[in-house]
Structure 1
Amino acid sequence: MSFIRTLQGDICPEQLGFTYAHEHIVCRPPYWLEKGEDDLLLDDQQKSERDVFDFKRHGGKAIVDATAVDYGRDVQAVKQIADQTGVYIIGTAGFNKSFLWQARLPDRLKLIIGDYSTFEEWIDQSSINALTEFVVREVEEGLEGTPYKGGQVKFGTGYNSITPLEEKTIRAVARAHHETKAPIHSHTEMGTMALEQIEILRSENVEPSYVSFGHMDRNPDPYYHEQIAKTGAYLCFDGIGKIKYAPESTRIDLILQLVQKGYEDQILISGDTARKSYYKHYGHGLGLAYIISKWVPRFIDEAERRGFDGETLVKKFFVANPARCFAFKK
């Protein structure tokens, strides 16, 4: 029997509904806080909540909050938003990428993790098994000492590289996956290193079909996407609305090329809305409603012009595929 673990508790996969696969809702990343990058601090619970309500008003049911421990989670605030809006929110255990680990470890985390000066020192001085135990606790007991449990485990790597400490966290997350059966999410910087990550996961006996790879549209390479899809992994196109990286026509074409090759059951969609300027109620940006209200109708139109059933594909990308991808399979 499978289930999906949300901040509100465990639910049946059929309950999940229309889902964004990778977002950030309330977070104050220590690295960006130290750099004074205010745009990267989602630090107003009420403004974030208004955007989640916008998503709900257009038919949205669930959001995966991909904010790991090193990205300044506010678990209590996100849980309150889930309760206020009625939108299911999946929390994330695990880690992000290594440059973020240069930041000082916040005092609140020292009470949970130990008296290390930085995230990097913690990861460097801990064994893989100790890091695994931390991730398992976050899935089985609660995120950062709260009673609200993580619904996926995450790791990340940098641009065209995997550092020794990043490999260490990949192995810790892989082992936590085996112990908890939690689904895995990968941060790939600029969409790179997914195949190399898969090699490490396979050395830990992890099946790629349990993994979703983020930021695939940041590397608009159809051949590369096909190689990842062949492993059975999920590909997350989570840069919707970010025209500075590529027009929507490029993303839609990449997605439809995968559909044409038979991989429509492995595609996830989201916006990775991690800046004030992307949110409507912070910076007058496109907001969390953009994908469901504007992008989906465009995708359906473009898909049908090319002979595909756009409505069916949308149901797969936002309902059926997330219900499978984010399920714990006992």
Structure 2
Amino acid sequence: MSFIRTVLGDIPPEQMGVTYSHEHIVCRPPYWVEKGEDDLLLDDPEKSKQDIQLFQRVGGQTIVDATAVDYGRDIAAVRHISEETGVHIIATAGFNKGFLWSAKRPGTDETFAAWIERSSIEDLTEFVVREVTEGMEGTTVRGGQVKFGTGYNRISPLEEKVLRAVARAHHETKAPVHSHTEVGTMALEQITLLKEEGVNLEYVSFGHMDRNPDPWLHLKIADTGAFLCFDGMGKIKYGPESTRIQCILELVKRGYEQHILISGDTARKSYYRHYGYGLGLGYILEQWVPRFKAEAEEAGFNGDRLIEAFFVHNPARCFAFKQ
């Protein structure tokens, strides 16, 4: 038996429906607060809710909120948005990446780095397990996935420490695992460490795969059984949509359509429709999906079937707790 853990409770996987696999809804990352980077603060729950409603109007049903503790979660606000809209939201336990850890933990004089440094792997594992089994930020809202991340072309000792703690929390809770890869790098190195921890890669999704549009790398990752999250749709500064679509279709050609997830990683005010007049949470379903289907059909594939896989069937497998 398997289930999906949302901020409002556990649901059967078949209730997820159309799913974005990596977004941010309400967050005030301490690192960016200290830097004065207002664009990276999604700090108005009402505006976030309006974009969630836009997503809902175009057929969206579930969002995976990849905001971890070091990225300034506001789990109470996210729960309230889910209650008001009826959109299922999956929250994230664990951590993000190393450079964020120079900031102070809210309510303390200690940085995240100092906390992670003084904590044992067992201590960090226990923290992540509690976030999945008891609740986050003093609430009863439990995490629906566990997350770790690494830097650009490097894995620091603290990042490795967190990776191992998250892997062990996965074993204890059966929660699915999500990896942040900076600019799509270090996934294979992460896989080596995850294998050392005995993690079955079929429980893992790797984020930002379109930031590193390398078909050879994508095939190596897919061959492990892991999921690849192409989560930069609409971010043309990182590359055109044609590049993303060709990388996805290359995986499909090799028989890996069941390993692909799609999302937008919408983490700036300027990306949101109701904060900064950006493309918003409706863009992927309204504009990207029709284009992808057309290009898939031109390449000889069934576009409707692929979209059903990427947005419905694959997320239902990827984000399930399997008992």
TM-score by length of 2: 0.99
Within 5 A, what are the aligned runs for 1:42-121?
Answer: 42-107=42-107, 110=108, 117-121=110-114
Amino acid at match of 1:171: R
The answer to whether 1:257 aligns with 2:241 is no
Name segments (4+ residues, structure 1) moved above 3 Å.
none
CA displacement at 1:105 relative to structure 2: 1.2
Give the TM-score normalised by structure 1.
Answer: 0.97
* Deviation at residue 29 of structure 1 after TM alignment: 0.2
Q: Identity of paired residues, percent?
A: 71
What is the alpha-carbon distance in structure 1 between the residues aligned to residue 206 and residue 136 of structure 2? 22
**Correspondence for 2:147:** 154
- Secondary structure in 2 matching 1:272: coil
- The residue aligned with 2:279 is 286
What pairs up with 1:121-132 in 2 under 5 angstroms? Answer: 121-132=114-125
CA distance in 1 between counterparts of 2:25 and 2:57 reads 17
Identify the residue that residue 29 of structure 2 maps to in structure 1: 29
State the SS of the aligned residue for 2:237: coil
Q: Report the 3-state secondary structure (helix = DSSP H, G, I; strand = E; otherwise coil) of the residue aligned with 2:91.
A: strand
1:241 and 2:252 correspond: no
The Cα offsets for residues 177-198 of structure 1, whole Å up to 9 and x where unpaired, read as: 0000000000000000001001
Which residue identity is paired with 2:174? K
How far has the Cα of 1:166 moved from its partner?
A: 0.2
Task: Please give the alpha-carbon distance, in whole angstroms, between the structure 2 residues aligned to 1:303 and 1:246.
Answer: 19
Cα drift, residue 324 of structure 1:
0.2
In structure 2, the gaps of 5 or more residues are none
* Partner of residue 221, structure 1: 214
Q: For the aligned residues, what is the CA RMSD?
A: 0.6
> Partner of 2:15 in structure 1?
15
The secondary structure found in structure 2 opposite 1:244 is helix
Pair 1:314 & 2:307 matched: yes
The amino acid of 2:145's aligned partner reads: Q
Provide structure 1 residue ranges, at least 5 long, that are not aligned to the other structure.
111-115
What is the CA-CA distance between 1:264 and the residue it aligns to? Answer: 0.2
Distance 1:193 1:4 in 2: 28
- How much has 1:61 moved relative to structure 2? 0.3
Aligned residues: 323
Residue identity in the other structure for 1:210: Y
Residue by residue over 1:272-313, the C-alpha shift from the partner in whole angstroms, topping out at 9 and shown as x without a partner, is 000000000000000000001111011101100110000000
1:158-307 aligned at under 5 Å gives the runs 158-307=151-300
Question: 1:114-163 CA distances to partner (integer Å, 9 max, x unpaired)?
Answer: xx610000000000000000000000001122111000000000000000
Secondary structure at the aligned position of 1:81 is classed as helix
Taking the aligned partners of 1:97 and 1:22, their CA distance within structure 2 comes to: 15
